[in-house]
Amino acid sequence: MLEDLYIAPPDETIRKAVLQNWNSVLSPGEDMGILSELTADYLMMTDGRGIRGLKPVMLLMCGDHGICKYGVSAFPQEVTLQMINGYGRGTAGANVMARHAGADIIVVDVGTNFDLHAFSHVRQCKVAWGTEDFTQGPAMTREQAVAALETGMRIANEAIDNGCNLLETGEMGIANTTATAAIAAGFLDLPAELTTGRGSGINDERMKIKTDVVRRGLEVNQPKPGDGMDVLCKVGGYDHAGLAGMMLAGAARHVPTMVDGVNATAAALIAYGIDPNCARYMLCSHLSSDLSAKKMLEVLRLKPIVHAGMRLGEGTGASLAISILRSALDTYREMTGA
């Protein structure tokens, strides 16, 4: 599946036509700002088909991380299980904001450290019981990375077959911001100090531990800058891999992805490292407050739709941005008669 991937660039003439339509209905000096740009980008990415309206689906990829044992997060690994349970009840922030955005949620176990078979709302696609400790060697084998990527691709394709025309990223896995910091550092060839943020709001003591874990992972594994697969295998997570696969599959079928916070941005960087054309089918929901987010977005050439100081993840920022996109498309249709 991965080896057969082909992503064609989007048709820029569609984007130009949409912007011209906007300009034709606005008075001199009027400017819809990000709404006109967002509408033009989305319709270009969907070959114009998105004009019929949005049908978004969030793929919420779940995976645990072997480096959690070092205390890099403010929360224990068991919170992964608790949050997944909450998705089934529909009480988590991810559920509430997805409902407001009109998005369905598919929760996927790509690599948690828990047996989730009792949860009927979870797709059982476990590649491994969490990643390995990347301070001691690679987080996963290449075979495991491919399996996780193809899991994301397969489920994205199913969603698209069922009418989805906008994919939305969601993720859950305690300690995943540590893996994200390592992905950003490895891919961008930066020191750990420039990519490691406070994630779940950790204190100074945990911050020192987290930075040291990222530094050790880079020293032990020596990931190749710009090589998405190599970086994923050495310091990534199964949640990152599932999301990256989703983005690649969507791009191949001209279905864009609304990229959420810093963890999803790291997954986008992995996907970009596998096929750079996929970034041309990405929309960025918001500027994460985490340290490495801006650096990764610069490489991906993505501009955030919302600046709201959010640090929540799980697709919440993406849901907020989808509501804005829906309003932009509705306004465009009504004003231009498209």
Q: Phi-psi region for residue 301, left (φ > 0), alpha (ψ -120 to 50) or beta? A: left
Pick the catalytic residue from 12, 193, 314, 334.
314
The three-class DSSP label of residue 16 is: helix
What is d(CA 60, CA 301) in angstroms, rounded to the nearest whole number? 24
DSSP 329: H
User: What is the block-wise mean pLDDT of the chain (338 residues), using blocks of 10 residues?
Assistant: 93 96 86 91 96 94 97 91 91 87 96 96 97 98 98 98 97 95 98 90 90 98 98 98 98 97 96 98 89 93 84 80 94 91
Is the Cβ–Cβ distance between 174 and 77 less than 8 Å?
A: yes
Per-residue pLDDT at 337: 87
Q: Phi-psi region for residue 54, left (φ > 0), alpha (ψ -120 to 50) or beta? A: beta
User: Could you tell me the domains of the chain?
Assistant: 54-324 (3.40.50.10210)
Q: Round the average pLDDT of the chain to a whole number and report it.
A: 94
Per-residue pLDDT at 33: 86
Nearest to 69 by CA among 183, 159, 174, 189: 174
In this predicted model, what pLDDT tens digit does every residue of 94-119 receive, in sequence order? 888 899 999 999 999 999 999 999 99
Is the Cβ–Cβ distance between 42 and 18 less than 8 Å?
A: no
Question: What does the angle CA 286 – CA 317 – CA 33 come to, to the nearest 5 degrees?
Answer: 45
Identity of the residue numbered 318: A
What is d(CA 48, CA 329) in angstroms, rounded to the nearest whole number? 11
Per-residue pLDDT at 287: 84
Per-residue pLDDT at 134: 98
Query: Does residue 314 have an active-site annotation?
Result: yes
